[in-house]
């Protein structure tokens, strides 16, 4: 048997969740991160739409969004030299059947403004006047530099002594006195605490540790990259989404990312686009604009993994000692990562979490499913 590499905390998965919690814990704990792929961020973290919308998600997510904002705005410039957020704005449009839904969204949202159809079309001139019958605007939606956030956390973790092993897939684990023995094809690790930050694989990982899965479901979402429509400069357009989440458009570097906003339940895997789902989504998008979709430059798909109540899971397992869940971040895992990383680190240190997140503890705890 190979030599056992010992640590206090073993993080499995080096996406945004694993990187964030490793960086947050590194000044008080010896931490090792294991990642199956050859590079961190290969799965959901590297495939997101990279947007921060404070008003996006259920009440718990919104609480996490609020708690995450200060880290984004007052970043540690030693590890994050460039700004992590850039103002984008978010425009929501509704067709004739959804005007009331849009009005309700404006009434109930915080920081959601009602804007005229003329203003919406002047912001994004390809929107069809025949389609748009109501609109709402959120000026504070921002683009996230996901790579800068992820690499900054990995750099911070490494500077503080965290070891990252790539090409290292956890394949089995057993409980021993005071912790875990965790096996990978080439190395064996021991740790007092294991953090499950394996994204779409989180339920499978739990089962490997003899922990009851929580019913997490990976939902596939795809994105097509389209050239800017002829005669239009898309760079300063806001993100545009349909009030019923039938599609969304995000400008990116002079191109357009258009997503069918698909949510197809799948097994965890290296996600790829279903051409039919993409074509149907692009058709829905075409109904809302005045330009045809003539060319898709490229496309990709990723997995957004949700708990049954569409709220993340952060906390120690209710029945098995030393097993910490950091999973189920769904479509909000980048924008909520600062608050979730800080919360996970506080719980593992046995300290009180940030007072703004404290009221959310029981709603995030895996114990809510037992």
Q: Least CB distance from residue 196 to ligand FAD, whole Å?
A: 9
Q: Does 331 bind ligand FAD (CB under 6 A)?
A: yes
Instruction: Write out the binding residues for ligand FAD, residues 65-104 only, by CB under 6 A.
Output: none
Give the x/- contact pattern for ligand FAD in 29-68, rule: CB under 6 A.
-----xxxx----xxxx-xxxxx-----------------
Q: Least CB distance from residue 220 to ligand FAD, whole Å?
A: 8
Q: Does 169 bind ligand FAD (CB under 6 A)?
A: yes
Q: Does 218 bind ligand FAD (CB under 6 A)?
A: no
> Given the complex with ligand FAD, which of 104 and 174 has the nearer CB atom?
174
Options 6-14, 90-98, 101-109, 114-122: segment touching ligand FAD (CB under 6 A): 6-14
Give the x/- contact pattern for ligand FAD in 287-326, rule: CB under 6 A.
---------------xxx----------------------
> Given the complex with ligand FAD, which of 112 and 134 has the nearer CB atom?
112
Give the x/- contact pattern for ligand FAD in 7-26, rule: CB under 6 A.
-----xxxxxxx--------
- By CB under 6 A, the count of residues binding ligand FAD is 40
Give the x/- contact pattern for ligand FAD in 222-241, rule: CB under 6 A.
-x------------------
> Given the complex with ligand FAD, which of 152 and 199 has the nearer CB atom?
199
Question: Using the rule CB under 6 A, which residue among 7, 92, 98, 198 binds ligand FAD?
Answer: 198
SS (H, E, C) the chain: CCCEEEEEEEEECCCHHHHHHHHHHCCCCCEEEECCCCCCCCCHHHHCCCEECCCCCCHHHHHHHHHHHHHHHCCCCCCCCCCCEEECCEEEEECHHHHHHHHHHHHHCCCCEEECHHHHHHHCCCECCCCCCEEEEECCCEEECHHHHHHHHHHHHHHCCCEEECCCCCCEEEEECCEEEEECCCCEEEEEEEEECCHHHHHHHHHHCCCCCCCCEEEEEEEEEEECCCCCCCCCCCEEEECCCCCEEEEECCEEEEECCCCEECCCCCCCCCHHHHHHHHHHHHHHECCCCCCCCEEEEEEEEECCCCCCEEEECCCCCCEEEEECEHHHCCCCHHHHHHHHHHHHHCCCCCCCCHHHHHHHCHHHHC
Given the rule CB under 6 A, which residues bind ligand FAD?
12-18, 34-37, 42-45, 47-51, 169-170, 197-201, 205, 221, 223, 302-304, 329-335
């Amino acid at each position: 048997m190979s030599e056992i590499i010992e640590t206090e905390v073993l993080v499995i998965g080096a996406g945004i969740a694993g990187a964030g919690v490793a960086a947050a814990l590194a000044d008080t704990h010896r931490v090792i991160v294991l990642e199956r792929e050859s590079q961190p961020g290969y799965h959901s973290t590297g495939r997101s739409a990279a947007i921060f919308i404070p008003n996006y998600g259920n009440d718990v997510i919104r609480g996490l969004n609020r708690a995450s904002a200060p880290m984004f705005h007052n970043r540690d410039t030693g590890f994050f030299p460039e700004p992590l957020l850039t103002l984008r704005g978010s425009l929501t449009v509704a067709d004739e059947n959804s005007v009331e839904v849009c009005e309700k969204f404006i009434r109930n949202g915080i920081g959601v403004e009602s804007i005229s159809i003329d203003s919406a079309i002047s912001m994004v001139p390809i929107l069809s006047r025949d389609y748009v019958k109501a609109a709402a605007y959120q000026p504070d939606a921002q683009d996230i530099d996901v790579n800068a956030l992820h690499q900054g956390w990995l750099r911070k973790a490494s500077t503080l002594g965290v070891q990252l092993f790539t090409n290292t897939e956890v394949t089995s684990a057993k409980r021993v006195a005071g912790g875990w023995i965790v096996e990978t094809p080439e190395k064996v690790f021991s740790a007092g605490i294991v953090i499950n930050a394996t994204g779409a694989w989180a339920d499978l990982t739990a089962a490997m540790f003899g922990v009851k899965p929580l019913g997490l479901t990976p939902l596939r979402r795809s994105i097509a990259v389209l050239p800017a429509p002829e005669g239009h400069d898309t760079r300063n357009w806001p993100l545009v989404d349909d009030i019923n989440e039938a599609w969304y458009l995000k400008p990116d570097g002079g191109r357009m990312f258009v997503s069918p906003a698909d949510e197809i339940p799948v097994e965890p895997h290296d996600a790829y686009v279903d051409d039919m789902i993409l074509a149907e989504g692009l058709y829905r998008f075409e109904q809302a604009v005045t330009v045809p979709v003539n060319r898709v430059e490229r496309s990709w798909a990723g997995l957004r993994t949700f708990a049954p109540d569409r709220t993340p899971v952060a906390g120690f397992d209710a029945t098995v000692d030393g097993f910490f869940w950091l999973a189920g971040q769904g479509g909000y895992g980048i924008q909520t990562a600062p608050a979730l990383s800080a919360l996970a680190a506080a719980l593992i240190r046995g300290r009180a979490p940030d007072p703004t997140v404290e009221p959310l503890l029981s709603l995030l705890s895996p114990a809510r499913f037992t």
